[in-house]
Structure 1
Amino acid sequence: MPLHGGITTANWLVFNPANYYTEGNQLEGLPMINWYADLPPIKPKYRAITQLIKRLIEDDKLLPGQRLPAERELAQLLKVDRSTVTRAFLELTANGLLIKKTGSGTYVSTLPQIASQADKVNWNFFLENTESRGDQAYQQRLLQARALDHGALIDGAANELPMGLIPELGALQLDWHGFLLAQKQEQDAGYQPLIHTIGQIHTNKKQFHLANQTLIIAGGAQQSLLLVLRSLLQVGDAVAFARPSYFNSSAIFQATGIHTYPVPLTSDGLDLAALEEAILKHRIKLLIMNPTFQNPTGSILTLEQRQRILKLCQSYQIPIVEDDVFGWLVAKQDEVPTFKSLAPENVIYLSSLSKLLGSSTRIGWIVAPQAIGQRLLQVQKKLDIVPSMLAQVMANLALNNASFEPEISKLTAQLSHRRDQVTAIFRECRPDWRFTTPKGGFYLWVTQDDPDIFNQLLAQKILVKPGPIYGTDKRSFRFNFAGIDAKKQQQLRERLKN
């Protein structure tokens, strides 16, 4: 393959003092290097490359200050992936044997100390390897904006309820003796009274029945999803979810080695043609859905849309994981049957209290067919990720509190009022912004035409969650209206008018 002015790749290369390398042009006093033939026969390959370069430096075949081939070209010579060369260079750089010069290349250190090098771990590789997510820069900007805030920020990028809207349940009575007695009611699936309470809630709401199902208490919806992935899938398996979706920025898939394939969410629901293509092309093992007050769009899939998705998944034997953390906030007239009620044997249902009682509550649950439930229990016990007994007892007290249902009704009304106020401000001040008013939940999903909208709003002390975090482009953003009280509504109007 031709390189730079007709030079071709080959195994035999030497270095030129002018910081370039040529083919078959041996320098006086320096032997030529046969990169591929001289590579030690050890694994992993990056370790073989580091040993080769160390030996070449020791034997004066690579001299201080000399430039090495570019990573891509050296990968061709060594017949390895470029990432393998990158890792070797990172380790050698961390050990002081190589120096990277931005825009120039990689060089042998002017004073490489081979003999004094300890065989130490290159932590830089792990740090660089964990910063690969495309949304990382936005996440850092959000953290920085909050850290520097002195009360002027309108935070529409929050994920949860503000403290002022969390239901007020008064004093939850629990003495030490009662707590000790409660521990005797703990089973493998969790605190039995809490399991009974949650089961009764789902039955009373006519969401689904627990016949032939297992209900398992877990540490929130995210931990529930982690448990499902670890129990049912293997590294390299594939799942699908909607785009845009908060699943796009979840670290769970990377941590479990699961490949993800987003499927567009349209005005008619999930793009079924794209879903079928993903199933056939990528051998999708699970479809993960957040069908009620979807995060970030706030949409609710209709019954017809849910039935079409189920029919397609059943035809390919694809189970559905239903994330229903916002199901608490649906008004009676807007309720749609859950996927779980429509196909109980084909769906794993997840929910939690974090969207109601604060993100630190960390109490969630899984409802799965019995055989799958037993598998989940085995893995949960093996991984020791059972939520604390104290948290389970407190959650049960909260759910059985006489104020719980009235407080949820009050919360739903407050959210509806704030949604109406914020949408009116958006229409008044930014008529070019496009959005569909959700029937509930916390979020507005806005699209407009300016790709720099995140920075423009940030300059006005308005924080939003930009589209790339959810797998879309910079022209979209999510706005959490739950925390925008009357005072902030006035500030929002004034800033958007400027």
Structure 2
Amino acid sequence: MINWHDDLPKIKPKYLAITKLIKSLIQEEKLLPGQRLPSERKLAQLFDVDRSTVSRALLELTSAGLLIKKSGSGTYISQLPQIHSLPTRVNWNLFLENNKTNYSLYQNKITQTRALDNGMILDAAGNELPMELIPNLGLLQMNWQNFLLAQKQAQDAGYLPLIQTIGHIHEQKKQLKLTEQTLLITGGAQQSLLLILRSLLRVGDSVAFAQPSYFNSSAIFKTIGVRTFPIPLTDMKMDLNVLEDVILKHRIKLLILNPTFQNPTGDIISLEQRQKILKLCQEYQIAIIEDDVFGWLVDSKDEVQTFKSLAPENVIYISSLSKLLGSSTRIGWIVAPEAIGKRLLQVQKKLDIVPSMLAQVMANLALTDETFNTEINKLTKELSIRRKNVTKILHELKPDWNFKTPKGGFYLWIKQNDPDIFEKLLKKNILVKPGPIYGTTKKDFRFNFANFDIERQQKLRAALTKDK
């Protein structure tokens, strides 16, 4: 009898160890031609690894002619396995297989639909503001001489005036304090997350995040070689029992959260929940990464203390301007304890991913423009109007759609009973982002109401009325 776990060679990466073991078992005739292997899920349990690790190993062995995959039946030892034959060419299928995911297939469909659009699509699948809602800050004037002078104010952490401006805004809004903290400028929230993971984790380390979450479809984790574990989030309450179980079983290093106008649910994690999550993470020495890109758009009456303000030494804070000034702005920042900040700066410099000085100077001009606060107020009011009007249309025409109206942000998270809803809405020229992108079912989808001005609201009503 094969003892899969104990016989596994002590080499890394694990998929190579699995490949080597199966080759030796075939050579020793412990696995015979035509014999069926256990399922990928079962092998993952036996080896105590992710299923993706097993998939890669089996794909390597199939490419080498040692295994045969039969659709709907399983994986078998080849009738004539050539143990010593090695492939002489790169197996590009490995790269292609790694990209065949539910969310990538949906994302490709969304991209294709937009490319073929002739002006008919009602696009509720966007991640950002439409152009007409981006704050109008007028002329941000800067001559070349002033730009050259500005470069003298560059530090390792970024453009000093921008660092000071961002720090002042955060302290003014009482979101966090910069005492014994490092604030460094990055090329956006995604780059911030990449920098943190590259700086603090090693290949094979584990992180957790809430589900549903846009982190579910992020390629960053695979790029770094980090294992991910989703934690159920229901009505903005994280299942702390599951979180504790995952921490104990998988030695989680980081918990990544997007607690304010969470993407995709659009909701806010309450102060009570934040305190419970913090208490559990402090008990097990788990650091928290707080992604707060929507913090700009919270009404003062709905504001909840950031994780960073509640536990400055336990939390690394991320924010950016992408949800406010457009995704191409590419300016974000990290606020981390000083010791961690030094490490992040070292890795940022080593990887040469310091954002351009021109972008940093322009961002500072935008944030310090005298019309900035007025424009943000106009934006939040317009978003409130669009949210109210769109939810009214959906409640009236789709009473079976279950969703909670958020207090801000851009998104509605809608649950209903039809697994073909994405395709059916697309036939009505309504484009949404389906649940599998966020780690849930085909019956869920995210709807970006920010894109719906009066004209689009009328078209939405007409499209949804067609099957009434």
Instruction: Give, in whole Å, the separation in 1 of the partners of 2:68 and 2:315.
Output: 54
**Contact 2:36–2:77 (CA under 8 A) maintained in structure 1:** no
Alignment of structure 1 residues 325-344 onto 2, 5 Å: 325-344=293-312
**Contact 2:188–2:320 (CA under 8 A) maintained in structure 1:** yes
**Contact 2:186–2:332 (CA under 8 A) maintained in structure 1:** yes
- Tell me, yes or no, if structure 1 residue 490 matches structure 2 residue 458: yes
Aligned mate of 2:59, from 74, 81, 86 = 86
State the one-letter code of the partner of 1:215. Answer: L
Instruction: Give, in whole Å, the separation in 2 of the partners of 1:326 and 1:420.
Output: 19
Instruction: Give, in whole Å, the separation in 1 of the partners of 2:127 and 2:321.
Output: 14
Alignment of structure 1 residues 18-417 onto 2, 5 Å: 69=34, 72=37, 83-90=56-63, 119-131=88-100, 133-267=101-235, 269-417=237-385
- In the TM superposition, residue 213 of structure 1 has moved relative to its aligned partner by 0.3
Alpha carbon RMSD of aligned pairs, Å? 3.2
Aligned length, in residue pairs: 433
Change in 2 beyond 3 A, CA 1:314/1:45: closer
Bigger radius of gyration: 1
- Whose relative contact order is higher, 1 or 2, with alpha carbons under 8 Å and at least 6 apart? 2
State the one-letter code of the partner of 1:422. Answer: V
Query: Which digits, 9 at most, give the CA deviation of each residue in 1:177-229, with x for residues without a partner?
Result: 11111111111101111101101111111111101000010010011011111
Alignment of structure 1 residues 390-469 onto 2, 5 Å: 390-469=358-437
**Contact 1:135–1:468 (CA under 8 A) maintained in structure 2:** yes
Instruction: Give, in whole Å, the separation in 1 of the partners of 2:322 and 2:195.
Output: 17
**Contact 2:267–2:406 (CA under 8 A) maintained in structure 1:** yes
Q: Which moved more, 1:217-226 or 1:273-282?
A: 273-282
**Contact 1:288–1:322 (CA under 8 A) maintained in structure 2:** yes
5+ unaligned residues in a row in structure 1: which ranges?
Answer: 2-8, 10-42, 54-67, 109-116
Query: Which digits, 9 at most, give the CA deviation of each residue in 1:138-190, with x for residues without a partner?
Result: 11111111111111001101000000000001111111111111111111101
SS in 2 for 1:413: helix
State the one-letter code of the partner of 1:130. Answer: N
**Contact 2:419–2:442 (CA under 8 A) maintained in structure 1:** yes
Change in 2 beyond 3 A, CA 1:186/1:92: farther
**Contact 2:35–2:77 (CA under 8 A) maintained in structure 1:** no
Instruction: Give, in whole Å, the separation in 2 of the partners of 1:257 and 1:447.
Output: 32
Identity in percent? 65
Instruction: Give, in whole Å, the separation in 2 of the partners of 1:84 and 1:258.
Output: 18
- In the TM superposition, residue 121 of structure 1 has moved relative to its aligned partner by 2.5
**When you count helix as a share of all residues, which structure comes out higher?**
2
Change in 2 beyond 3 A, CA 1:432/1:90: same
SS in 2 for 1:135: helix
SS in 2 for 1:437: coil
State the one-letter code of the partner of 1:466. Answer: P
Instruction: Give, in whole Å, the separation in 2 of the partners of 1:418 and 1:226.
Output: 34
State the one-letter code of the partner of 2:117. Answer: D
State the one-letter code of the partner of 1:346. Answer: N
**Contact 1:91–1:125 (CA under 8 A) maintained in structure 2:** no
Q: Which moved more, 1:319-328 or 1:172-181?
A: 172-181
Instruction: Give, in whole Å, the separation in 2 of the partners of 1:45 and 1:202.
Output: 50
TM-score by length of 1: 0.80
Instruction: Give, in whole Å, the separation in 2 of the partners of 1:100 and 1:256.
Output: 29
State the one-letter code of the partner of 2:302. Answer: D
- In the TM superposition, residue 84 of structure 1 has moved relative to its aligned partner by 3.7
**Contact 2:412–2:446 (CA under 8 A) maintained in structure 1:** yes
Query: Which digits, 9 at most, give the CA deviation of each residue in 1:320-374, with x for residues without a partner?
Result: 1100000000011111111111111111000000000100111000000000100
Instruction: Give, in whole Å, the separation in 2 of the partners of 1:358 and 1:249.
Output: 21
Query: Which digits, 9 at most, give the CA deviation of each residue in 1:457-484, with x for residues without a partner?
Result: 0111101111111111111110000001
Change in 2 beyond 3 A, CA 1:208/1:147: same
- In the TM superposition, residue 410 of structure 1 has moved relative to its aligned partner by 0.4
5+ unaligned residues in a row in structure 2: which ranges?
Answer: 3-15, 27-32, 41-46, 48-53, 79-85
Instruction: Give, in whole Å, the separation in 1 of the partners of 2:390 and 2:209.
Output: 29
Instruction: Give, in whole Å, the separation in 2 of the partners of 1:306 and 1:134.
Output: 31
Change in 2 beyond 3 A, CA 1:100/1:208: closer
TM-score by length of 2: 0.85
Query: Which digits, 9 at most, give the CA deviation of each residue in 1:47-68, with x for residues without a partner?
Result: 9999xx9xxxxxxxxxxxxxx8
**Contact 1:71–1:82 (CA under 8 A) maintained in structure 2:** no
Instruction: Give, in whole Å, the separation in 2 of the partners of 1:161 and 1:230.
Output: 30
- In the TM superposition, residue 100 of structure 1 has moved relative to its aligned partner by 9.4
**Contact 1:347–1:368 (CA under 8 A) maintained in structure 2:** yes
Instruction: Give, in whole Å, the separation in 2 of the partners of 1:375 and 1:348.
Output: 13
**Contact 2:260–2:267 (CA under 8 A) maintained in structure 1:** yes
Change in 2 beyond 3 A, CA 1:44/1:314: closer
